[in-house]
Structures are given as C-alpha cells and as structure tokens.
Amino acid sequence: MNPFLDKRKPIEIKISGNLPHWHQIGKIQFITFRLADSLPQSKIKELSSFIAEFNARYPKPWDLSTTKKFRATVGRIEERLLNNGYGSCLFKKSELREVITSAIKHYSPSHYTIVAYVIMPNHVHLLVHFHSDINPERIMQSIKSYSSHQINLKLQKTGRVWMSEYFDRIVRSENDLQKYIEYIGNNPGHLPPEIFELYINPEYRR
C-alpha cells in the first residue's frame, strides 16, 4: 500500500480545537505534541491572535488548499516558539524522557512502525507509519494519557502535563519523508545530548 498521501482517495478532516487533523488509512504521519507549559501566556495569545485572524479571513469549513495553508503557517510559528525553550522543560530529565519512549514503543509494531522521533525538553516530534486499521487520534490520546499519568507519579504531583491539541501532517512523498527525517535529526541543534533523545529507523533513511 502507498504510504503517502493520495489526493485521489478520500481524506478525513477533523477539527479538534483550532487544529485540523487529516486522516487517510495506512499512511506515514508527522506528529508534534508539547507540554502544557511549553509556551507562556503571552506567546499563546500571539498564536491565538494569528489563528483568529486566519479564521476571520478564511471562514470554515475549509477546503484542502486552505487547510494546508493553515497547517504550514501555524506549524512554522509554533515550532519557532517551542525551540525557544519556554516552560519547565521536563524532558531534560532522562527518567521522564524514558516514559515517553516507553509509551511510543508500546504501540510498535502492533499499531505502527516507528520511522523517527525526537524528544526535546518541552515537546516531541514523532514520525510513524500507521497500519491500515488504526485511528491515529486514539493512539495519540492513549500515549498522552498514559505518559501524563506516569510523569505525575514520578513527580508526585497532579495536573495537566500535555497541551490538549497536537499537530499532525500526512507525509506527501518519499522526498517529503526524507525532509521530515532530516528535520527530526537536526531539531536538537546544538543542545547537549544528555537533555534530548533522538531515534531514526535506518530502514527509512536514504
């Protein structure tokens, strides 16, 4: 089965909060999820203001072209803000990164094949090839729910760990896939290796 987006076939688009989620069975998807405190309120307001302006300019429901434009623009803005290292940056601690690693690996290979991931101090980038009978939204809910519970146990606290929304994108082509792999590999930049975790499946590297 073709692992990349096929525009000739139906695409399910679901709006969760402000972010649209595309789903097409059996595809490779790039997913970003972040800690609840990864952006200060001033930056959240900045991002929310942009989203409100975009919504006013392009009233919903959106066509595929508008959805693509929104995702590309918001993704760039959010990534720039995340890389500034705001918030508690819990995942500087190896024992907390291990919780996320365990949650991600729990569903492999039963629900997806892991292509690559990087666990940054305040967010995670995940690139996976979903099996044809798997709903990515449910898997993400499970990963976040389990890891949130385990992280709170380790920190001996309660409360929200993850931001409720997450960003996802279906990979378009082999060239697109290699760009995402390269992006994940380069995401840590000059961070010291003891505060992030990076994995790239050699079978997908070209």
CA–CA dist 59, 52 (Å, integer)? 10
Mind listing the pLDDT tens digit for each residue in 153-204? 999 999 999 988 888 999 999 999 999 999 999 999 889 999 999 999 999 9
| Residue 69 in tokens | 């434009």
Confidence tier at 3 by pLDDT (50, 70, 90): very high
**What pLDDT sits at residue 174?**
96
**What pLDDT sits at residue 81?**
65
| Residue 34 in tokens | 């972040």
Higher-confidence residue of 123 and 73: namely 123
Residues 142, 148, 153, 159, CA torsion sign: negative
| Residue 26 in tokens | 């059996």
Higher-confidence residue of 64 and 92: namely 92
Higher-confidence residue of 18 and 150: namely 150
